[in-house]
Amino acid sequence: MSDIINFLKTRRSVKPRDMNGNGPTETELETILAIGSRVPDHGKLAPWRFIVFRGDARNRAGDIIASVFTRRNPDAPAEDVARARASLTEAPLVIAVVSSPKAHPKVPPWEQQLSAGASALNIVTAATALGYGANWLTGWFAYDRDVLTGLGLKADEQLAGFIHIGKSEKANEDRPRPALADIVTTF
């Protein structure tokens, strides 16, 4: 079996809480983002873009998330507000993949959203191939318009997800996978 096939068969997501302070170098980040942009893209529209959060930017984004959470949940306990504030701080690097559809007569928004999803998976795969743990997550704030606006998304943009990236010292266990017989039919 080729190394690439074996890698794909064994790739696992790593929980951000299991990641430590070591994130990709500038060169590795550039590689990850370049691979994130090498996805099927009908019409060559690049219907996605990336927002990089590291260092204090993760805290500033957390302040936006916590502010919206507090406004929507004025009676929330302080620990819930703190958890919202810490949403992007466990991994040393977080990349938001923004679905940014373009008007086009032959390429419907759905195809463009799928391209953004492919981009997110390529980012996860590239980070993992470079020896980092990676995890594609959303959460309530990935769908909240006030949070998205606060993070700089335009009204017609959506978030495909946040990709958390960092080193992990913990052994990564696999999760149950569906049996092919349960998910495959032949027409």
pLDDT tens figures, 21-77: 789 999 999 999 999 999 999 999 999 999 999 999 999 999 999 999 999 999 999
User: pTM for the complete prediction?
Assistant: 0.95
Confidence tier at 1 by pLDDT (50, 70, 90): low
Report which residue type is found at 90: E
CB-neighbour burial class of residue 135 (10 A; exposed 0-12, middle 13-18, buried 19+): buried
pLDDT tens figures, 98-114: 999 999 999 999 999 99
Domains of the chain are 3-169 (3.40.109.10)
> Is pLDDT at 172 greater than 80 in this prediction?
no
- The pair of three-digit structure tokens given for residue 187, joined into one six-digit string: 């027409």
pLDDT of residue 20: 86
Q: Are 97 and 121 in contact (CB under 8 A)?
A: no
pLDDT of residue 88: 98
pLDDT of residue 21: 75
**Coil, helix or strand at residue 39:** coil
Mean of the per-residue pLDDT values of the chain:
96
DSSP letter at 18? G
